Amino acid sequence: MTETAPRTFAPSAVLGLTLILGVATTAVLDLFLLWWAALLIGVGLAFVLVAATAPRTRDESRLAATGAEEEGTPLHKVLVAPMSLVLALAGGLAAAWLLDLQLIAEVAAPLGAMVGAALAFVLFHRLSAMLALSFAAVLAAAVIAVGVTGAVLQLSGIAPMETFGRMLEFGSRPDSMVQIINTSTTYYLAAVAVAIGFKMGLFNIGVDGQYRLAALLAASVGGYVMLPPVVSQIVIIATAVAVGGVWAGIAGYLKVARGVSEVISTIMLNSIATGITAYLLSTDRLAVELSTNNIGTPPMPESSWIPGIPAGFLGSDNEIWGMIVLAAVVGFLYWGMLNRTRFGFELRATGQSKTAAEASGVDVKRMVFLSMLFSGMIAGLVGLPQLLGHSHHYALDFPTGIGFIGIAIALLGRNHPVGIIFAALLWSFLDQSAGILPFDDTPQEIAVIAQATIVLTVVVVYEVVHRWGRRYQQQEIGKQLGRTVESPGEAK
Residue 84, C-beta contacts closer than 8 angstroms, at least 6 positions apart: 47, 119, 120, 123, 124, 127, 132
**CA atoms lying within 13 Å on the CB side of residue 438:** 5
Contacts of 223-230 with C-beta under 8 Å, sequence gap 24+, read 223/297, 223/298, 223/299, 223/300, 223/393, 224/297, 224/298, 226/301, 227/303, 227/304, 228/303, 229/303, 229/304
Residue spans of alpha helices (H) in 8-80: 11-29, 35-53, 66-69, 74-75
Assign residue 415 a region: left if phi > 0, alpha if psi is -120 to 50, beta otherwise? left
Q: Measured between alpha carbons, how far is 387 from 399 in angstroms, rounded to an integer?
A: 10
Please choose, from the candidates 175, 173, 128, 110, the residue with its C-alpha nearest in 3D space to the C-alpha of residue 320. Answer: 175
Q: Measured between alpha carbons, how far is 478 from 482 in angstroms, rounded to an integer?
A: 6
**What are the angstrom distances between the C-alpha of 248 and each of 50, 132, 244, 252, 400?**
51, 36, 6, 6, 18
| Domains detected in the chain | 11-59+67-127 (no CATH), 160-441 (1.10.3470)
The dihedral formed by the CA atoms of 186, 188, 194 and 200, expressed in degrees to the nearest 10: -150
Please choose, from the candidates 301, 278, 282, 296, the residue with its C-alpha nearest in 3D space to the C-alpha of residue 222. Answer: 301
Q: Measured between alpha carbons, how far is 335 from 323 in angstroms, rounded to an integer?
A: 19
Residue 317, C-beta contacts closer than 8 angstroms, at least 6 positions apart: 175, 311
Residues in the chain: 492
Residue spans of alpha helices (H) in 207-261: 207-224, 231-258
**Residues facing residue 9 across a β-bridge:** 57
Residue spans of alpha helices (H) in 156-206: 160-171, 174-199
Q: Measured between alpha carbons, how far is 107 from 35 in angstroms, rounded to an integer?
A: 10
Neighbour tally for 40: CB within 10 Å? 19
Q: Measured between alpha carbons, how far is 136 from 239 in angstroms, rounded to an integer?
A: 42
From first CA to last CA, the distance across the chain in angstroms is: 29
pLDDT tens, per residue, the chain with 492 residues: 455 555 677 888 889 999 999 999 999 999 988 899 999 999 999 999 999 888 777 654 444 455 555 565 666 677 788 889 999 999 999 999 888 887 787 889 999 999 999 999 998 888 877 777 777 777 887 888 888 888 988 888 888 888 889 998 999 898 999 999 999 999 999 999 999 999 988 999 999 999 999 999 999 999 999 889 999 999 999 999 999 999 999 999 999 999 999 999 999 999 999 999 999 999 988 999 988 888 999 999 998 999 999 988 888 889 999 999 999 999 999 999 988 899 888 888 888 888 888 888 888 999 999 999 999 999 999 999 999 999 999 999 899 999 999 999 998 888 888 889 988 998 999 899 988 888 888 888 888 888 888 888 877 877 777 677 667 667 766 776 776 666 555 544
Please choose, from the candidates 258, 260, 269, the residue with its C-alpha nearest in 3D space to the C-alpha of residue 403. Answer: 269
Q: Measured between alpha carbons, how far is 206 from 324 in angstroms, rounded to an integer?
A: 23
Residues 197/210, Cβ–Cβ less than 8 Å:
no
Amino acid at 42: G
For 339, phi and psi rounded to 5 degrees? -110, -10
